[in-house]
Amino acid sequence: MQLVSSALLVAFLAAPSVLSYSFTTPKWGLKTPVVQKKQAAKLVMKHGNTQRNAAPAFSLGSLFGGNGSGTASSAGTANLEPHPSVRPHISPLNRLAPGAASVENDEKALPVHPDVRSGVLENGLPYIILPNASPPGRFEAHLQVFSGSADEQEPQQGIAHLTEHVAYMGSRKRERLFGTGSQTNAYTDFHHTVFYAACPLLTPRGNQPMLPMALDALLDVMEARVESQRLEKERAAVLSEMTMVNTIEYRVECQILSTLHRENRLAKRFPIGKESLIRSWTTDDVRTWHRTHYRPDNVLLYLVGDIDPDEAEKVIKEKFGHVSAEKQAAEIKIPEIKKEAAELADAVVAGTVKSAQSWHYPPVRHDWCVPKGTKIDPALVGPDIDYDIHLQLPMPLDDKVALLKTEEVSPGKKIRPHIFRHELLQSFSLHLFAKRPVEPIVDLESFRHSLARRIALAALQIRLNVGGRSDDPAFTFVEFNQLDSAREGCAVCSLDMTAEPERWKDAICKSLGEIRKLGLYGVTPGEMERYASSLMTDAEQLAAQGDRISHGDQLSYLMETVANGHTFMSPMQSYYMTSKALQSLTLEEVNKAASDLCSHITGFKEGCEGAEGPAIAIACSPKTSDTSGPSYCDEESLVKCIYDACQADVEPEEDVVVPHTLISDSEIQTAMEENKPEWKPGHFSDGTPDTAPDSLTRPFTLRRLSNGIRVGVAQNSAESQRGHLRLVAPGGRDAEKRLGFKKGAMAIGARTMQEGGAFGPWTREQVELFCVDHLLMVEITCNEESITVDFVFPTTNVGNVGFGDNVQLGITGTEAVMQIVREIIVGFKWEEDALGRSKQSFRSSHEGLQKNLEGLTTERIMEAMTQHDERFLSIDVDSVNAITLEEARLAVMSQLLPSELEISVAGDFDVNEVLNMIYQFIGTIPADANEQYRKEADNIVGRVPDLKEPGEFIQLELPDSDPRAVSYVAGSAPNMWGYLADGSTVAERVLAADKRCSDYDRRRRSHPLFAYVALSLLSEICNRRLFSTVRERKQLTYDANFSFTGFERLLGGWFLVTVTASKEKAQQALDACKETLAALRKTSPISSDNVESAKRVVLNRHEGELRTTQYWTQLMSGMQEESIPLKGPLTVTDFNAVVESITPRDLQLTLETLGLDDDKLYTAIGRTIQPQSGAADEEEEALVRQAPVIGMRRGGALTG
């Protein structure tokens, strides 16, 4: 049941102009819709289309409502020189710009969201306001600056990111937001820099409006003071950030992006830039960049939230109305940069996608790869100009790079190949691309085309993910998609695939064969029906959610839609247009979209018409000295393999018979007769009285079934028509050890269930497609203390056939989930091929750990703290290989005993209906089901091992060509509920240490929730102190993190401080973390301000998460478990009151329950060392060797 990994959903559940796939974690079914995921701090490439000339040509005066001249005019600027970078350009508001083509009378045009308001101040600053109700009493403000690393000149590489740090971290007005329950951050990418603040409407103290305060902080960004002290702090932070994220994953991304965009600026303008330049810049350098790019015509302000648009407009004008480009220009102090900025500005508007399509895009052009005969707007090709806007000429600061040659494998058929080898890589990966112009989604025709493309992509992805997994699959991961990318200024059609190194050729042949099959023959009628229905269901769910979509999700969708020039619709408008488009969408249209998507691959076959332009192929593989073995791949063999794979004949896909229900009504009726269930009272150990078996309670209903299964149900309408179910079997790897199973048997068995999925008469493929039809996501995991099965599902009828009046309803997603839960417990079929995939996953994970600096260092410190207790360590390859299917089955089934299980379900449904389904499908499971697998153990609740004293200092060295370091400080701690390894509790220790406390304090501290809340607040305070001391004051790191292990059932746990630094400063950073924790105990104890600030963070997080069904299932899980005695209904009902009651004295005493004495600490430093082979061989010279770089992934951004 690895079914539709997180990927498929986008095809279904993304908003109409958004599409995204992710296959990093195998899951059955679908993932949460993209529009439900906040992407503010990392850009994820999404599918949509952009319209050229969506708005008339930009001029600061005429278009943005100025005085009609070509530049904005403001009081006090008449005698100032014009800004060197200001040029007439299209409005960044795109479809929302004043003067954009009217759509009111165009029946074919997509409707614009009725509540969105946009405008432009007299100085040229544009803004967008979107009132949104969820969560109430909060809003988000984002300031987007349309300059990123791609806009940097030769001596400025990295300055956009550094300026972001200086502008926001140095803002005193931003500091006023601290302690108010606000979150602020900023990030830099190729095409922009974004600053944001997510705030409550009113201050916690005084009830003062916070919108002016948030906009003051963003205004401070526009008027940033570049002070020497702040520059030095942020320079140190950026240099540390380089080291922190310079992982092998990021280096792979650099190779991919450099190859993909070799013909433009993106290949040489990674956001982190050059270390030598970063170290050299003065305040004048940073100020010059800031004043050049932070100007009214080059930004866009977004406001989304529970706000009054009229009032918001007044505050925007009041705060930003006086800013002018001319004033900014007057402070540009470096004449030569000023001159070069003017030349670059001329080149940008002369011939880039930024000037031709969207001001949100980077100033680039692309080598397009499109189906034969496709007409491309000449403006997107760009004229040849004298200025080297695309950085094709060599420059002194350029890294030494391998030249990329485009191979013409056959007349008119081109591939640009590149190979990247590295000693830290363990798998082969292929990344095959075609770049295409972003198309507009602004009318019914373009909307229909986008739906057709999404259906085709969904069909292919499910084929790859379900049908492509044979008994011995060639690839371990595969994803095919086409996404519009504002950060790259194009749509990227991509195949991303990983495989074992020796099987790379088979993997390429298999994946390309499936793509060619789609391109040549299209989708089947069954697939068309399945995925069209899924799109309709998703649109219905979003429409039902309406303004309950969170501010962050609305803002992410709004930003991406505006950036790509799409029409921004409301969920209800999107639902209406989806219904209208799908009712007339034909199979032929979908197959034409499929043909276009795959044209760059199908065109490689001899006799077929090739695509116009090059396909781009990057292969990444482990470095090896054996150039004749099956795992070796070079450019020539890569191109040949791709070409040969495209010559094989393929056959059309055949439809699979997919059941509409897994369990028939007659089967359930028989079960009811044989095992008639009863409801029993809910029972708790936190002091809450038992609940009645026949009544509903708020905020949740908690009962037990007569077969012993514990049940919790909560209604939550915040996520419309969606639900989450969690099935928990306590035990996990702790039970694996206590019950005498082989090392890894429990974890490998749980993953085997994830990889399998056959039930009763149904095959794995049928069950997985059943999950697809019903929009289910299923994920099975095993940790140290439990096996957990999580389901995400729609609560409405799904698997429907037809549209409108002709629709035939399927069963609800809720009923589909109940059927699967029942079959997991009593009807699961264990298969050898699923075990094989499970074991391969664990082997890859363990082998990958040996090449991961952070992971391996953490493993070493855990080995020391646990005395090599296998419950807390990765499973080695020999142990994985030793597990048989029978051993995996026996281990997992020993945990699936009804008397031990707990089911928690929350969602937008009728509680009585869900209880009735549980009664029928789960209550009829016999009480003695799986009793034959039961194994007895002496103790029910496990504990973490005692720490040996004194602690240890561990040093680890890992071969890597780039210098990196990570440091850790760890020690003993309570579990999440305050139990220590010896069985004592935080409350007991706090009361023992404060014998003179009042009766009131004794009652407070005896509350079951006391330790849980105190530890949550303590974690926030420690993190803030570490940031202030280790980063801000000592300037040793970009970030330091404090966390608890968070066990619920196991007694005891650990705390862990993680800090990254340069190799030279790793010891200093470690010592600084120890000093910070010591100071909290003695010289700088916890203050009232610390506590109040932490309370705001914890309460706001809790309130926000209460709007999600997943959080409700987490809260309910364990409430009726005897192994978590302090967890019960009071966890929810008393949470706010307990948080507000906590005092600095409580936290100071709680801090003493941690093992913070110096001789009890375990510390570690992991450092990289140069591989024994020394410098890279000449033929292994990297395409791009950035100074240590900042992670972003394709589509990701820098968070600073």
Q: Where are the beta strands (DSSP E) in 1126-1200?
A: 1162-1169, 1198-1199
Give the count of alpha carbons within 13 A of 637, CB side only: 12
Whole-angstrom distance, CA of residue 438 vs CA of residue 479: 20
- Token pair listed for 182: 């606000």
The yes-or-no answer on residue 988 being catalytic is: no
Whole-angstrom distance, CA of residue 112 vs CA of residue 677: 52
- Concatenating the DSSP letter of every residue in 1004-1028 gives HHTSTTHHHHHHHHHHHHHHHHHII
Whole-angstrom distance, CA of residue 568 vs CA of residue 95: 8
Region at 158 (left for phi over 0; alpha for psi -120 to 50; beta for the rest): left
Whole-angstrom distance, CA of residue 217 vs CA of residue 172: 8
Q: Per the omega criterion (within 30 degrees of 0), is the bond before 396 cis? A: no
Q: Are β-strands 965-973 and 1053-1061 bridged in parallel, bridged antiparallel, or unpaired?
A: antiparallel
Please, which residues have CB within 8 angstroms of residue 299's CB and are 6 or more apart in sequence?
Answer: 125, 126, 143, 144, 145, 146, 222
- Contact 517/651 with Cβ under 8 angstroms? yes
Among candidate residues 234, 439, 815, 831, the one labeled active-site is 234
- Contact 1038/965 with Cβ under 8 angstroms? no
Q: Per the omega criterion (within 30 degrees of 0), is the bond before 699 cis? A: yes
- Token pair listed for 860: 């070493």
**Nearest CA among 409, 448, 449 for reference residue 611:** 409
- Contact 186/294 with Cβ under 8 angstroms? no
Alpha carbon 921 to its chain centroid, in Å, reads 34
- Contact 8/21 with Cβ under 8 angstroms? yes
Whole-angstrom distance, CA of residue 267 vs CA of residue 253: 11
Q: Per the omega criterion (within 30 degrees of 0), is the bond before 135 cis? A: yes
- Contact 162/235 with Cβ under 8 angstroms? yes
Region at 682 (left for phi over 0; alpha for psi -120 to 50; beta for the rest): beta
Whole-angstrom distance, CA of residue 27 vs CA of residue 454: 20
What are the b/e assignments for 417-435, b being 16+ CB within 10 Å? bbbbbbbbbbbbbbbbbbb
**In Å, what is the CA distance from 203 to each residue of 141, 158, 208, 1057?**
16, 36, 5, 32
- Residue whose entry in the numeric block shows the structure tokens 């679908």: 30
Cα-based angle 962, 249, 1029 (whole degrees, multiple of 5): 65
Cα-based angle 795, 796, 801 (whole degrees, multiple of 5): 140
- Token pair listed for 199: 């705030």
The yes-or-no answer on residue 755 being catalytic is: no
SS3 per residue for 514-576? HHHHHHHHCCCHHHHHHHHHHHHHHHHHHHHHHHHCEHHHHHHHHHHHHHCCCCCCCHHHHHH
Among candidate residues 164, 514, 779, 831, the one labeled active-site is 164
**Nearest CA among 723, 718, 721, 716 for reference residue 777:** 723
**In Å, what is the CA distance from 1173 to each residue of 880, 935, 960, 964, 1181?**
31, 52, 11, 18, 14
Counted residue by residue, the chain has a size of: 1200
Q: Is 761 exposed, middle or buried (0-12, 13-18, 19+ CB in 10 A)?
A: exposed
Catalytic site residues? 164, 234
